[in-house]
Structure 1
Amino acid sequence: MHTMWKGSISFGLVNIPVKLHAATEDKDIKFRSLHKKCHTPIKYEKVCPNCEIEITNEDIVKAYEYTKGKYVVLEEEDLKSLEHEQDDKAVEIIDFVKISDIDPIYFNRGYYLSPNEGGSKAYSLLRKALVESGKVGIAKIMIRSKEQLAVIRVYDNTLVMETIHYPDEVRNAADVPNVPSESQISKKELDTAILLIDQLTSEFNPEKYKDEYRETVMNLIESKRTGEKMVTPDSKETPSNVMDLMAALQASIDRTKPEGKAKQKPTAKRKTVTRVKKNA
């Protein structure tokens, strides 16, 4: 597994040399843009619209637009000196909290942590302490020129670092338009909805979920590559937005009702017929 970063994590006076590895990967299907006429990949050139010339990376500087059309130019040396100051610091766990206190909206991306040379015992100590205490660590780390807030927790006997958003990066839910206030929901509607949730409740098993769209696109690509005919599955019924809420809930419950609990029609009792054996 590729190492993205090397450094150390500390809590109190305990220092743990670690390596950082990406825990997830993007499985999106990536398309190339081709010239329709000859199927040659398209090149995207960097052109200055003012000078009307093509430029190279050496001709580009970074700048911050503080108002429309006004920029503050930052030199690479300035940024590198700031990054160097952060890189020299250990990733310090500054707090321990319950993971249930962190709303999932804050989570961003996950990374595996492995011990570097000489860090195995301290790594194991932190892992066991997190499991026994039921807590996760809150830390800061510099990744790709950005200071990240992160959660350090245990997953499958491995320390995982989950980067999380800062509070000012999470938009205010109150700004979401057209969110209804408390609606008049009858007790029957609520009880039926809860019953439906109960019937659909199961243990989380990530293996049962798959990206059906990506799978269909890959089948389409393979059929075009091999010249075979693509078979398209029947489209699912699209529910209407205008419906009787109770009728929809009841229909959903009937559809998801376990087969074993289906009502069986009562069977008629068989009549017992006693046959008398005739003597020969």
Structure 2
Amino acid sequence: MHTMWKGTISFGLVNIPVKMHAATENKNIPLRQLHKECESPIQYKKTCPVCEREVEQDEIVKAYEYVKNKFVILEEDDLKAIQKEQTDKAVEIIDFVKLEEIDPIYFDKSYYLSPNEGGVKAYGLLRSALRETGKIGVAKMMIRSKERLAVIRIYENTIVVETIHFPDEVRQVRDVPNVPEEVETGKKELDTAKLLIDQLTTTFDPKKYEDEYRTELIKLIEEKKGNAEVVTGKDKAKKPDNVTDLMEVLQASLEKAKKDKPKPRQPKRRTTKKKAK
């Protein structure tokens, strides 16, 4: 499993060297967009509408649009200056809480943690302590130059870092339109709904759930491949460069000049008159 981050978990005076690995992966089937007319892949280029040309990466700066079409430019040095130091890339546990106290809406992405060199014993200590107390750790960490709030918990036999949203990143439910207040519900309807829930209640088993759309999409793709329903993207026709264009113009001009060049006049032959006898 690919190691995407190395650092330490710290709680109190205990520091645990760890490696971080992505716990989940995106299984979406990537679909490309082709030009229907010639079946070539569509390209997306960064262009400047004012200069009317493609822009290279080193010509691009970051900016914040505080009102429509008004920007504050932020240089890389400015951004680095306000970033917190990532000394040893520490995941600092601030508090310990119960997992059920955190609503699932806060959870974002999961990462597995494995012990790095010299961290096996301390790793086992934290794992046992979390398991015995039934608590999870609330921590702060830096990922890709961004400070993240996270929880440290146990999944099966592995310590997991679960990034969670800051409170101001969760939108207020009062802003959701058309949510009704308490609705009067008939006892018969409510009892029937509760009975249906009871009948469908089971123990959660993630293996029983499948992405049916992805399965059918893969099947469709394989069928089309088997029936040779495939196309080959065409290469972009190479546009003659300026040198080639110039040579063609010069050659054409030379040919035209040859045709238009007046032929040299032939000298008139002198005719000898015969003397009269």
The answer, yes or no, to whether TM exceeds 0.5 is: yes
Asked which structure has the greater RCO (Cα within 8 Å, sep 6+), the reply is 2
* C-alpha distance in structure 1 between counterparts of 2:31 and 2:15, whole Å: 45
Q: Which residue of 1 aligns with 2:194?
A: 194
Q: Which position in structure 2 is the counterpart of 1:213?
A: 213
Give identity over the alignment, percent. Answer: 67
CA–CA distance in 1 between the matches of 2:71 and 2:23? 37
The alpha carbon displacement at 1:218 in A equals 1.1
Gaps of 5+ in 1: 230-280
Q: Contact 1:87–1:142 at 8 Å: present in 2 too?
A: no
Q: Residue 22 of structure 1: CA displacement?
A: 0.5
1:79-90 correspondence to structure 2 within 5 Å: 79-83=79-83, 85-86=85-86, 88-90=88-90
Paired AA for residue 20 in structure 2: L
Task: Report the aligned-residue RMSD.
Answer: 1.7
Secondary structure at 2:36's aligned position in 1? coil
CA distance in structure 1 between the partners assigned to 2:191 and 2:107 by the alignment: 32
3-state SS of 2:71 partner: strand
The separation in 2 between residues aligned to 1:84 and 1:180, in whole angstroms, is 44
- SS where residue 122 of structure 2 aligns? helix
**Unaligned ranges ≥5, structure 2:** 230-277
Is structure 2 residue 132 aligned with structure 1 residue 132? Answer: yes
Which moves more between the two structures, 75-84 or 62-71?
Answer: 75-84
Corresponding residue of 1:117: 117
SS in 2 for 1:85: coil
Separation of aligned partners in 2, 1:81 and 1:17:
27
Counterpart in the other structure of 1:94: 94
Tell me, in whole angstroms, the C-alpha distance in 2 between the residues paired with 1:102 and 1:22: 22
Q: Say whether the 8 Å CA contact 2:94–2:139 is kept in structure 1.
A: yes
* 1:211 aligned partner, one-letter code: D
Distance, in Å, in 2 between the alignment partners of 1:159 and 1:180 is 41
3-state SS, counterpart of residue 45 of structure 1: coil
Q: Which amino acid aligns with 1:126?
A: L
Query: Structure 1 length as normaliser, TM-score?
Result: 0.78
Q: 1:105-125: per-residue Cα shift (whole Å, max 9, x none)?
A: 000010001111111111110
Matched AA of 2:159: L
Counterpart contact for 1:139–1:149, Cα < 8 Å? yes
The code of the aligned residue for 2:200 comes to L
Instruction: Judge conservation of contact 1:16–1:123 (CA < 8 Å) in 2.
Output: yes
**Does the Cα contact within 8 Å between 1:7 and 1:91 map onto a contact in 2?**
yes
In the alignment, which residue of structure 2 is the partner of 1:43? 43
Partner of residue 176, structure 1 = 176
| Residue aligning to 2:65 | 65
Q: Distance in 2 between matches of 1:87 and 1:62?
A: 26
The answer to which of 4-13 and 34-43 deviates more is 34-43
How is 1:20-39 mapped onto 2 (pairs within 5 angstroms)?
A: 20-39=20-39
Could you tell me which amino acid in structure 2 is paired with residue 173 of structure 1?
V
How far has the Cα of 1:35 moved from its partner?
A: 2.5
Q: Secondary structure at the match of 1:24?
A: coil
Cα deviation, residue 77, structure 1: 2.4
Letter in structure 2 aligned against 1:200: L
Q: In structure 2, what is the Cα distance between the partners aligned to 1:45 and 1:175?
A: 37
After superposition, give the CA deviation of every residue in 1:122-180 in whole Å (9 maximum; x if it has no partner): 11100000000000000011111211100110001000011000111101111111112
Structure 2 CA distance, aligned partners of 1:62 and 1:138? 32
Deviations 1:224-267 (A, max 9, x none): 111199xxxxxxxxxxxxxxxxxxxxxxxxxxxxxxxxxxxxxx
What is the alpha-carbon distance in structure 1 between the residues aligned to residue 58 and residue 187 of structure 2? 68
The code of the aligned residue for 2:28 comes to D
Give the deviation of 1:42 after TM superposition. 2.2
